[in-house]
Amino acid sequence: MLAKKQRKVTFILKRKILYHAKRSFKCVNLVFVLLASVIAILAFKFKPAYAVTISGEVVGYVSSKVELEQRINEEILAHKGNVAFVTIKQFPEYKLQLVSRSEKTNEDELISSLKQNAEITYKYYAVTFNNENKGYVNTLEEAEQLVAEIKQEHSGNLDLNIGISEYYTVNVDDTKKIEESTDLTLAKQEIESSVDEYIDRETRTVNGIYLAQTPIVGRVTSRFGAYENVRYGAHTGVDISAPHGAEIKVAADGVVTHASPMGTYGNLVKVSHGNGVDTYYAHCSKILVKVGQQVSAGDTIALVGSTGNSTASHLHFEVRINGKATNPQKYLYK
């Protein structure tokens, strides 16, 4: 009898346990259904994305932090061409969050914004002459090649101060101008022009006075020191044949100290240039300046003639240092 009662109680307990288990299972299912519904709603309305902030301000969203960082490295930080280095003033920070599916990711705009926020320093190699940048090239090898060529071509001028310097700039306009001229041929032309100008100036400088202007264009008919029947001693200047009335230019800045006829010189203009340097312009048909007048290199001071001891229209040109005649062809009419 006792055993029968125990079996009955056990049966009743099993039924209750089964009943409650079924109810719990239904509750769990309901929770899962509700959770799935919430997830589905969230997935339908939202998406995961990285909010990108710069200086604490959200500037956009990206779907992949890794891809954006890769683009920053490749498109901004990479040292391409003449880029020496890049500095981004404020690097972006990222925070993963759910955003509305209508919120668009804007990687391109972020890259553009970061480019504007970046400071790019460019590096070029400048070939220098007398410590001034004259020609630009992209590589050290090109600069060394250019310097070697110029030194070889001007091996007789061992004192030429030609070198190489690294040139850095963050100025975009400056960069554009430099990039237009970063060519080996153009750089060589630029430096050659500077070297030629320097050599020309050095060879045309008398006691510190630069003879910037050739007085007249023509053929040399009598050189310095020549002995000829038309004069009593050695020639103290150089004669240049030119048409009657041609303009005579003063060779350098100075002051007119003589402007009238003078013996065998005929009509003569003397100009003092300082440092004991004087120039003479003789046999003029007409004098166009006065004593005491200030003149600048290239000014017309007289007209070609054949006055004084002369057999044809020409200019007799002299260079004197402290009163002593020196060969003008050391400086002009070489």
Confidence (pLDDT) at 231: 62
Can you tell me the distance from the alpha carbon of 225 to that of 101, in angstroms, rounded to the nearest whole number? 98
CB count within 10 Å of CB 79 equals: 11
Confidence (pLDDT) at 91: 79
Confidence (pLDDT) at 230: 63
Closest by CA position to 265, among listed 242, 292, 235, 295: 235
Tell me which fold the domain 210-330 belongs to: Glucose Permease (Domain IIA) (2.70.70)
> Residue 305 forms beta bridges with which residues?
314
Confidence (pLDDT) at 9: 47
Confidence (pLDDT) at 154: 78
Q: Whole-model pTM above 0.75?
A: no
14 sits in the region (left: phi over 0; alpha: psi -120 to 50; else beta) called alpha
Confidence (pLDDT) at 143: 86
167, 127 contact by CB (below 8 A): no
Can you tell me the distance from the alpha carbon of 148 to that of 209, in angstroms, rounded to the nearest whole number? 32
HSE, CB side, 13 Å, CA atoms: give it for residue 313: 14
User: Hey, is 239 helix, strand or coil?
Assistant: strand
Phi (first) and psi of residue 85, to 5 degrees: -165, 160
Place of tokens 């008398």: 206
User: Hey, is 208 helix, strand or coil?
Assistant: coil
Distances (CA, A) of 240 to 244, 317, 332: 12, 8, 11
In the chain, where the domains are located? 47-116, 122-203, 210-330
Closest by CA position to 208, among listed 86, 331, 122, 103: 331
Closest by CA position to 253, among listed 216, 209, 287, 215: 209
Distances (CA, A) of 28 to 41, 187, 239: 20, 82, 121
Beta strand 286-287 pairing with 247-249 = unpaired
The tokens for 333 are 């009419």
Q: What is the pLDDT along the chain (334 residues), one digit of tens a residue?
A: 545 555 554 555 555 555 555 555 555 555 555 555 555 544 556 678 788 888 778 877 888 888 888 887 888 777 677 777 788 777 788 888 777 766 676 788 887 877 777 788 888 888 888 888 888 888 888 888 888 888 888 776 657 788 888 888 777 676 766 776 677 777 788 888 888 888 888 889 999 999 999 999 999 999 998 886 666 778 899 999 999 999 999 999 999 999 999 999 999 999 999 999 999 999 999 999 999 999 999 999 999 999 999 989 999 999 999 999 999 999 999 8
Give me the sign of the Cα torsion angle 70, 76, 78, 80: positive
129, 195 contact by CB (below 8 A): yes
